[in-house]
Amino acid sequence: MSLSEYYRQRDRAPSSAPGHAGPVLVRREAPDDVDPIDDLHRRAFAFAAPNGAEPVEVALVHALREDPGWVPALSLVAEGPQGAVVGHVVCSEGALGDTPAVGLGPIGVRPDVQRSGVGRALMHAVLAAADALDYPLVALLGHLDYYRQFGFVPASAMGVLAPDPAWGDHFQARPLAAWRPALKGAFRYAAPFEAL
Ligand SMILES: CC(C)(COP(=O)(O)OP(=O)(O)OC[C@H]1O[C@@H](n2cnc3c(N)ncnc32)[C@H](O)[C@@H]1OP(=O)(O)O)[C@@H](O)C(=O)NCCC(=O)NCCS
């Protein structure tokens, strides 16, 4: 199929069903995305913020942008068919002992299009991007059920220690091509996470 034929077909495609994002484009964050990303995390994490307060994830992303651990290639948005930002994920540089490694978070998808594959697309894209940058692993604190499908295991199984032992198996890690079994020890997130 030629490229022009592909675009003609795409333009004829039926509009997406309610609750489904439709085709999304995953790309790097651009300067104009800052406000839409704030809005997105406000909505995605509203469930976790008491009494309509601002979710901490909004300020966290701003603080990460100002931090030396910010890696522009690892802040990705999912753009819906009308150009709206429907998802965002960021990994920032921390360390595993003395070796640079990345921590994932936050990741958020607009509530009205959750469970339609947007988070999955963002996860695969950011893991591939971190791998291409030769980081040995991605660490995160999150749901055991959701992240296993992307190759995450309890970090302790890889000899990677959580910043807080109380996190238990919810602190997870995904080895990348540059990972070696000798890479063990305490994981440290980029500094803005410590202020949470
Ligand atoms: C978590 C989140 C990013 C997932 O994104 P999403 O676009 O809704 O997820 P996807 O559609 O890509 O999910 C892919 C698969 O993961 C599983 N899954 C999705 N959300 C899940 C959840 N909360 N718990 C367990 N499994 C889940 C499902 O198997 C899903 O496939 P399905 O089509 O069979 O339902 C999104 O729900 C979100 O923004 N939640 C609020 C913010 C948040 O909690 N962020 C994570 C902090 S740890």
Q: What is the pLDDT of residues 58-96, one digit of tens each?
A: 999 999 999 999 999 999 999 998 999 999 999 999 999
d(CA 147, ligand 1 centre) in Å: 9
Q: How far apart are CA 27 and CA 51, in angstroms?
A: 33
Q: How far apart are CA 134 and CA 148, in angstroms?
A: 21
Which of the four pLDDT bands, split at 50, 70 and 90, describes residue 2? very low
Residue 158 confidence (pLDDT)? 97
pLDDT tens digit sequence for 128-174: 999 999 999 999 999 999 999 999 999 999 999 999 999 999 999 99
94-124: burial string, b at 16+ Cβ within 10 Å, e else: bbbeeeebbbbbbbbbbeebbebebbebbbe
Residue whose C-alpha is closest to residue 82's, from 40, 42, 22, 33: 22
Residue 176 has pLDDT above 70, yes or no: yes
Residue 131 confidence (pLDDT)? 98
Helix, strand, or coil here: 112?
Answer: helix
Around ligand 1, the residues with Cβ closer than 6 Å are: 44-45, 107-109, 114-120, 142-143, 145-146
Q: Name the residue at shortest CA distance from atom 30 of ligand 1.
A: 115
Q: What is the pTM of this model?
A: 0.91
